[in-house]
């Protein structure tokens, strides 16, 4: 709490009595009255917070102190009831009193929260000038600041505990939601499988029903799969229980060790931590050197890798050329074999022509003339024979016509 806030609280606590002690003859305008009411509401809010803090401190330190305060508040309530029959005068004065003593107007609120209402009554009655607590000790600004700091620390601790509890509850609910999600997915899969295998595929169109053996086979398979999954889950559960027991034992051992620790142990742990830090520092230095060496090695590796890639590219080119040359050699071998076959064929023809040429003799001219004359005579004889055959054919046809005409007549 700042000094400005502390001074404002003290000013508010002093100004209430001034507003209440205003004479009935004072006349206030509407704007002033509204402003005064708003200021009183603000002061009542601040005083309510102070009363709540005081009540919490008293209930935390010694709840039995609240009995005397309750009796004093009852006396103040009676005093307020007796003084209410007097002529209060102006509307502003009655409004301020009602705003300060609104907690005393309902007895049911006194029954529901006596401690809170009692503190409000103590503060209101003390500032009204009734004299009940006027002679008692007052709380200064430093004490108020200490009380507020203590209450803030307590509230922060409670908030942290509530936050941790809420986190655990949220984790539990999240796990339950995940479990329910998995269950719903499994149920949907089982329903779809049942509908597909039993209701759709198992329907007998002839008998118009689902055979019992389909149902029994489906249930048998389902129980077998379920038993297998249950076995896996049991094994996993036993493993988790073993791990939980182990971790629980470790936590128990650590708790026992923490109870038996001494300042010497902390000094020893500090020395060990210092040694470990030095070792870590040296290891980090070595790691930096290793990173430097690794960088150089990576650079050399990149250079050699580039050269190797170039050599591989040249090697692939050479291999490709070798394959092309091999294919060319194969084609040339085929052409050579074809040419050799053609050469053998031509050689055979040449040999035949050579034999014919060696065996061939040029005939005599007179012999050639004689042979040609005989050939011409033979051709003339063949032509005459053809003419004779043609004449005989014509004669045969005429005889056949005559014979035909003779028989039909």
Q: What is the pLDDT along the chain (409 residues), one digit of tens a residue?
A: 334 343 444 444 444 444 444 444 357 788 888 888 999 999 898 888 888 888 888 787 777 777 777 777 777 777 766 544 433 333 333 333 333 333 333 333 333 333 443 444 444 444 443 443 444 456 777 887 888 888 888 889 999 999 999 999 999 999 999 989 988 998 998 888 888 888 888 787 777 788 888 888 888 888 898 899 899 989 999 999 999 999 999 888 888 877 776 777 778 888 999 999 999 999 999 999 999 999 999 999 999 999 999 999 999 999 999 999 999 999 999 999 999 999 999 999 999 988 888 887 766 788 888 888 999 999 999 999 999 999 999 989 888 888 888 877 6
Tell whether 216 and 337 lie within a shared domain: no
Burial class (CB in 10 A: 0-12, 13-18, 19+), 70: middle
Tell whether 296 and 381 lie within a shared domain: no
Tell whether 129 and 75 lie within a shared domain: yes
Query: Tell me, what's the pLDDT at 215?
Result: 83
Instruction: Name the phi and psi angles at 139, rounded to 5.
Output: -95, 125
Encode pLDDT of 67-105 as tens digits: 777 777 777 777 766 544 433 333 333 333 333 333 333
Question: At which of 180, 213, 237 does a domain end?
Answer: 237
Tell whether 198 and 110 lie within a shared domain: no
Residue 77: inside a domain: yes
Tell whether 10 and 107 lie within a shared domain: yes
Tokens of 54: 């005081």
Residue range of the domain that includes 339: 275-360
User: What are the residues whose beta carbons fall under 8 Å from the beta carbon of 275, sequence distance 6 or more?
Assistant: none
Q: Give the integer Cα–Cα distance in Å for 41 and 19.
A: 12
Query: Tell me, what's the pLDDT at 23?
Result: 43
Tell whether 84 and 123 lie within a shared domain: yes
Tell whether 354 and 371 lie within a shared domain: no
Q: Give the integer Cα–Cα distance in Å for 43 and 120.
A: 12
Tell whether 20 and 107 lie within a shared domain: yes
Residue 148: inside a domain: no
Question: At which of 321, 340, 360 does a domain end?
Answer: 360
Q: Give the integer Cα–Cα distance in Å for 397 and 399.
A: 5
Residue 331: inside a domain: yes
Query: Tell me, what's the pLDDT at 409?
Result: 63
Tell whether 115 and 206 lie within a shared domain: no
Tell whether 78 and 124 lie within a shared domain: yes
Tokens of 342: 């053609």
Q: Report the largest interatomic distance among the alpha carbons of the chain, rounded to a whole angstrom.
A: 189
Residue 378: inside a domain: yes
The pTM assigned to this predicted structure is 0.37
Query: Tell me, what's the pLDDT at 332?
Result: 92
Residue 263: inside a domain: no
Count CA atoms closer than 13 A to 264's CA, side-chain side.
1
Sign of the dihedral defined by the CA atoms of residues 158, 164, 168, 173, in that order: positive
**β-pair partners for 204:** 209
Residue 351: inside a domain: yes
* Residue from 70, 44, 66, 42 nearest 55 by CA: 66
Query: Tell me, what's the pLDDT at 130?
Result: 41
| 3-state helix vs strand vs coil in the chain, percent to 5 | 85, 0, 15
Residue 16: inside a domain: yes
Tell whether 9 and 120 lie within a shared domain: yes
Tell whether 98 and 197 lie within a shared domain: no
Number of domains in the chain: 4
Residue 203: inside a domain: yes
Query: Tell me, what's the pLDDT at 137?
Result: 55
Question: At which of 217, 237, 257 does a domain end?
Answer: 237
């Amino acid at each position: 709490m700042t000094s400005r806030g502390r001074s404002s609280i003290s000013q508010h606590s002093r100004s209430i009595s001034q507003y209440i002690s205003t004479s009935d003859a004072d006349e206030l305008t509407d704007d002033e009255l509204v402003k005064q009411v708003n200021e009183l509401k603000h002061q009542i809010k601040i005083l309510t917070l102070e009363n709540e803090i005081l009540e919490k401190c008293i209930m935390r330190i010694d709840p039995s102190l609240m009995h005397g305060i309750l009796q004093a508040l009852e006396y103040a309530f009676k005093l307020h009831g007796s003084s209410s029959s007097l002529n209060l005068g102006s509307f502003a004065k009655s409004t301020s009193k009602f705003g300060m003593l609104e907690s005393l107007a309902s007895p049911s609120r006194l029954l529901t929260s006596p401690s809170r209402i009692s503190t409000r009554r103590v503060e209101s009655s003390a500032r009204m000038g009734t004299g009940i607590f006027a002679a008692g000790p007052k709380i200064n600004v430093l004490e108020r600041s200490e009380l507020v700091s203590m209450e803030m620390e307590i509230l922060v601790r409670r908030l942290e505990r509530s936050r941790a509890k809420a986190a655990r509850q949220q984790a539990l609910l999240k796990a339950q939601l995940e479990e329910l999600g998995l269950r719903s997915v499994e149920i949907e899969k089982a329903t779809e499988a049942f509908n597909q295998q039993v209701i759709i595929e198992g329907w007998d169109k002839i008998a118009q029903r689902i055979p019992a053996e389909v149902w029994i086979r489906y249930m048998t398979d389902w129980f077998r799969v379920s038993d297998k999954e249950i076995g896996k889950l049991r094994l996993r559960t036993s493993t988790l229980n073993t791990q939980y027991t182990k971790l629980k034992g470790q936590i128990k051992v650590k708790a026992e060790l923490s109870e038996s620790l001494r300042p010497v142990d902390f000094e020893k742990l500090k020395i060990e931590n210092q040694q470990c830090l030095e070792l870590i520092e040296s290891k980090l230095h070595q790691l930096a050197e290793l990173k430097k060496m690794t960088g150089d090695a990576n650079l050399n590796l990149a250079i050699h890798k580039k050269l190797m890639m170039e050599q591989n590219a040249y090697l692939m080119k050479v291999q490709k050329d070798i394959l092309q040359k091999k294919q060319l050699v194969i084609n040339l071998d085929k052409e050579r074999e074809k040419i050799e076959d053609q050469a053998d064929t031509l050689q055979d023809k040449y040999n035949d022509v050579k034999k014919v040429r060696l065996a061939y003799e040029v005939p005599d001219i007179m012999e050639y003339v004689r042979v040609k004359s005989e050939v011409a005579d033979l051709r003339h004889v063949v032509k005459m024979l053809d003419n004779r055959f043609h004449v005989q054919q014509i004669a045969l046809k005429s005889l056949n016509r005559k014979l035909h005409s003779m028989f039909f007549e």
